[in-house]
Structure 1
Amino acid sequence: MEGPDSWPTTCMGVKRPRIKPALRQVLRSERTLQIGLHPRRAAMLHNTEPRFMRLVRALDGTRDVRQILALAQADGLTATETISLLHMLIRRGVIDDAAAQPVPLRPLGLAERDRLQPDLDALSLDPASTDCGFGAFARRRAAYVRVYGAGRIGAQVVALLAAAGIGHLCVSDPVTALAADVVPGGLGWSEVGGTRQDGAAAVARRIAPGVNVWTGEHAASLDDRARPPDLAVLCPTEPLDHLLVAELMDAGVPHLLVTGFEGFGSVGPLVLPGRTACLYCIELIRRDRDPTWPLFTARLGGIPAGDRALDTVLATQVAATAASHALARIDGTGEVVTNGTLDLLPDWGWRRRSWSQHPRCDCCVQNDFE
């Protein structure tokens, strides 16, 4: 491999290696280089010769692999040494391929691309990816999410998902928007008097002009865009519609429940039909623990009962947490709230509760969605 004619044109699939631009490089000593700042992200190069340091500094995406090998050879490094260093950096997750094409950005205007750059930087930090975050962003642009409920929490979820790059959003909440629905990240004063769903759609378009967003009044069924949604987010402002939940289960649509009332917030469970505990499983578990539960919920009109004493800060924190879990589902990076809920307590601490499938629930009798 020492002769230029035998040099590879790629290294572990990477054509034009560069240190991920979102990672800061800090020289801690003459022979120690730190790439990345957070302790759980950083890669440390210890006892590194100056010529290796110079090679790392040269990984700016302007050179292909053979040009890097030639530069390193001129500085006294063998091709084997250079390739070994590149392998180590790629395995540590600090390398991007500058040759990656920004295909999902092409339909967007320049201003929207600039607005999305911090999101792309964050997506690029996936240690398993070298595509500058374009693969994950393409999944977001292709994703279809439905949000049911556009009150203090739901409207913010819509805005956050649109701002984060979700390409297709349907909002369903025909209730008239009131002054009490106005929060900084959701419906504004200009939306008061119209429907919540129209207001949330307008907010999404303002922050993300490239989003394809429509409202429930234009949606005949779950497959109103020729395919079912990839995810439904339930943000009920009134007692939860269990007919809707049954429809989501029958269609195999993953759905995330998000609630806030009386100073408490809750995100989850994320239900994967036929695979994880569903909302009726939780209902049955509560009935097992409390014989009076059915009477209690009947007198309330259903559980969760909807927004009650939901202050601005709590609504915002719950919405942000819900949006992050929705994005994790779309990105494929984790599903923390399957078989569980995250509860935000009045002292601003989080508590995770675990749930399991109930043996008497139909959802675990047959799984048609594997």
Structure 2
Amino acid sequence: MRPLEGRSARGPSSRRRSGRSTVSTHQRAHEAGGIREVRRPRLKAALRRVARDPRTLQFGLHPQRASVLHDLEPPVLRVIEGLDGTRELRQVVADAAKEGLAEEQARTLIGMLAQRGVLDDAAFPPPLTSLSLAERDRLQADLDALSLHPETTDGGAAVMERRRAAHVRVYGAGRVGAQIAVLLAASGVGNLCVGDTAIARPRDVVPGGLGWSAVGAPRHDGAVASARAVAPGINAWTSAFASHPADRAHRPDLAILAPVEPLDQILVADLAEAGIPHLLVSAFEGLGVIGPLVQPGLTACLRCLDLARRDRDPAWPTVSARLGGYPAGEVACDTVTATIVAATAAGQALSWIDEKKSIVTNGTLDVLQIWGWRRRSWSVHPQCRCSRNQLH
């Protein structure tokens, strides 16, 4: 077998036209440096493999995910295809020697595959063992997606466990909030409280949110029932204390504000006072806004946004006061907009729980009528009291 050498995906051999990243298996040994050793290497089950020709193997299908390995000699192909997680790395290396690969070549090959993000480590224990087989099967698609992160080798287990341990509160269970609650439950969030004592109306019924059976009862009852229907193992409950984030329950890791009526400023103040991260979500007049995600004492808060609007429009305080609060609630909140906003908000909430960077920290996402997104940046306002509590 020839020594491992060649060019990375950013070199001249890249297939820029197709959008796929390409790499020769003859990578330099130093490219494997810095990769956490995989104890029992296994090809990621969620990453489709396609043989483009007898010596070329493609991992992944999406242009932003796919990686193509060229010039694979038959022994190297056999070593790759044999990575099923049943053997320790030392045994893989020993078996590779039978195919003619020296130890350094075999370890460099495994390191290169790990660097390209196509390996899992089967030594990690299986996730979600406390759930029923049916619920584990339902969450498998989410685990598969989590496993595809190039630096993840545990099959997404660590991130899913964070979701299972997370406590999230959703304030407002209308067309948007109820869908957010259900999406979070379906995505593996383990502890969910919903607060909205208003009576559900037929106009609150949307796919993925409140159903017809919820009409006539408190909205939060219907939202919790919908969450339990899709995730029977969830710890979900309702809260009648909409303006009190601490009602003897576990302190939430994140609160989501999805007001059906004008935003409750007392609730906002309580969350800020308690230092609870909170995400504002609204959909009205056929448009939607996700964010900001406020980290009290660290990022721009909702009062900062109010003051910035006042700076641009001196009449803004009067407008907001006459509305009874801003956002004003779900006004002309059509079904498709509500669904897009709810899904985007749930995605941002999961990014926070998963400890990924959220694009709505010090920012908001506008959902536009042309079915596009626009991000706005916001800064801590110098006249806001929160600026006095900035952590340095």
Decide: shared fold, TM above 0.5. Answer: yes
Q: Which residue of 1 aligns with 2:372?
A: 349
The reply on whether 1:210 has 2:243 as its aligned counterpart is no
For residue 185 of structure 1, what is the aligned residue in structure 2? 208
Length-normalised TM-score, structure 1: 0.94
- The AA in structure 1 aligned to 2:295 is L
Identical aligned pairs, as a percentage?
60
Aligned-pair CA distance for 1:219:
8.5
Name the structure 1 match of 2:80. Answer: 56
Partner of 1:365: helix, strand, or coil? helix
Q: How does 1:349-368 map to 2 (within 5 A)?
A: 349-367=372-390
TM-superposed CA distance for 1:226, in Å, is 5.4
Counterpart CA distance in 1 for 2:242 and 2:224 is: 14
Separation of aligned partners in 1, 2:144 and 2:339: 24
Q: 1:333 aligns with which of 352, 356, 371?
A: 356
Contact 2:167–2:254, Cα closer than 8 Å, also in 1: yes
Q: What is the match of residue 71 of structure 2?
A: 47
Report whether the alignment pairs 1:273 with 2:296.
yes
Residue 110 of structure 1 corresponds to 133
For 1:140 and 1:74, the matched residues in 2 are separated by 43
Aligned partner of 2:115 among 60, 74, 91: 91
Q: Which residue of 1 aligns with 2:182?
A: 159
| Partner deviation per Cα, 1:23-52 (whole Å, 9 max, x = no partner) | 011111222211111222122212221211
- In 2: Cα distance, 1:292 partner to 1:219 partner: 29
Deviation string for 1:113-142 (max 9, x for gaps)? Answer: 111110010011111111111000000000
Query: Helix, strand or coil for the counterpart of 1:147?
Result: strand
**Could you list the runs of 5+ residues in structure 2 that have no partner in the other structure?**
1-34
In structure 1, C-alpha distance between the alignment counterparts of 2:111 and 2:247, rounded to whole Å: 47
Q: Secondary structure at the match of 2:306?
A: helix
Q: Deviations over 1:303-339 (max 9, x none)?
A: 1100011111111111000000000000012210111
Q: Which amino acid aligns with 2:373?
A: W
* TM-superposed deviation, 1:296: 1.1
Query: Where does residue 197 of structure 2 map in the other structure?
Result: 174
TM-score scaled by length of structure 2: 0.88
Deviation, 1:218, is 7.6
Secondary structure of 2:180's match?
helix
- Which 5+ residue runs of structure 1 have no aligned equivalent? 1-10
Could you say what the CA RMSD is over the residues aligned between the two structures, in angstroms?
1.5
| 1:145, distance to aligned residue in structure 2 (A) | 0.4
Q: Does 1:27 align with 2:51?
A: yes
- 1-structure distance, mates of 2:361, 2:62: 28
| Separation in structure 2 between the aligned mates of residue 102 and residue 158 of structure 1, nearest angstrom | 26
Distance 1:14 1:224 in 2: 45
- Specify the alignment match of 2:20 in structure 1: none
Give, in angstroms, the shift of residue 91 of structure 1. 1.4
The amino acid that maps onto 1:239 is P
Q: 2:39 aligns to what?
A: 15
State the partner residue of 1:67: 91
- TM-superposed CA distance for 1:220, in Å, is 9.4
Distance verdict in 2 for CA 1:124–1:295, change over 3 Å: same
